Amino acid sequence: MNKDLLAIFEYLEREKGIKREVIVKAIEESLLTAARKSIKGVGKISVQIQPKSGEIEVYTQKKIVKNVENSEDEISLEEALELTPDCQLGQWLEISITPQDFGRIAAQAARQVISGRLKTAERDVIHEEYRHRLGEIISGTVTRFVRGRTILVDLGKVLAVMPDKNYPYSERYNIGDRIQALLYEVKETEGGGAEVILTRSHSEFVQELFMQEVPELAEKTIIIEKIVREPGFRTKMAVRSFDSKIDPVGTCVGVRGTRIKNVIRELNNEKIDVIPYSDDPIQLL
């Protein structure tokens, strides 16, 4: 049993959400290249990895002949009978040629695959998991800081990126903090992977916070016609009601300000002005 390979399989399945068969196929292809370089004197080579045990087998196929003319692709009947007693002339025989140290080679190849080939599989997982959730508020844990104030946020299966321009300069975080942010973008990277981009500075973040607090917004009884923001300082939001009995401003503020207070608390006491929308620009002003 190859414990190193099994550990790699389990890590990628658990932490990255990449299916084991995808991992196995990618590593088999990488090992095939390694086998062709390290094993001489044979023709066609194939590599098989047992997904459950991590056992690796390298095979070659040789045709059983009476007189061997090409040792890379042919084997004599006498030698073949020693390996498989019931074989016959003209038959293709699958022969195991796994080197003794191939487990170590396999582990090295697997690590290279993780940093290279499996980026594609991880990108597919990111697209499948997060592409349809754009504009949604998600929560994660601050993992580390890179390139100054850019934050890496652990969402579970992936590390999301929140650039310094995507959150108010007045906000400060520590490693281990739980934060909420808007899933703003999923973009391709130069290395063939994908990145999840978060934001707390966009006006849509404030809008989604209100959507969580005000059921009438989700029901579209009232709507946000316009929202503008200076992140960390103030937000102005114009709302309109489609029901004459419902006050759009009072609905967003809530009884004794309970709804808007929850939003302000999440925005670290940023000032929020909620005003009734009017089609008349002078009245709106």
pLDDT tens-digit map of 26-49: 778 877 877 777 677 677 888 888
- Give the pLDDT of residue 248: 94
- 95 plus 16 within the same structural domain: yes
- CATH number of residue 237's parent domain: 3.30.300.20
Q: What is the pTM of this model?
A: 0.64
State the average pLDDT over residues 111-126: 68
- 104 plus 8 within the same structural domain: yes
Report how far residue 216's alpha carbon sits from residue 203's, in angstroms, rounded to the nearest whole number. Answer: 19
Coil, strand or helix at 132: helix
Task: Note down the domain range covering 28.
Answer: 3-115
End-to-end CA distance of the chain: 74
- Give the pLDDT of residue 171: 92
Q: Which residue has the higher pLDDT, 201 or 244?
A: 201
Report how far residue 220's alpha carbon sits from residue 206's, in angstroms, rounded to the nearest whole number. Answer: 17
- Number of structural domains (the chain) is 3
- Give the pLDDT of residue 103: 63
- 27 plus 103 within the same structural domain: yes
Among 80-84, 95-99, 214-218, 246-250, the minimum mean pLDDT is found in 95-99
Give how far the C-alpha of residue 218 lies from the chain's centroid of Cα atoms, to the nearest Å. 29
pLDDT band of 139, cuts 50, 70, 90: very high
Q: Is the pLDDT of residue 198 over 80?
A: yes
Is residue 270 domain-resident?
yes
- 71 plus 15 within the same structural domain: yes
- Give the pLDDT of residue 191: 66
- 107 plus 155 within the same structural domain: no
Q: Is the pLDDT of residue 10 over 60?
A: yes
Find where tokens 């293709």 sit: 92
Is residue 159 domain-resident?
yes
State the average pLDDT over residues 215-225: 92
Is residue 87 domain-resident?
yes
Q: Which residue has the higher pLDDT, 248 or 88?
A: 248
Is residue 190 domain-resident?
yes
Is residue 120 domain-resident?
no
- Give the pLDDT of residue 114: 60
Among 104-108, 135-139, 265-269, the minimum mean pLDDT is found in 104-108
Report how far residue 42's alpha carbon sits from residue 32's, in angstroms, rounded to the nearest whole number. Answer: 13
C-beta atoms surrounding 212 within 10 Å: 15
- 88 plus 132 within the same structural domain: no
Query: To the nearest whole number, what is the mean pLDDT of the chain?
Result: 85
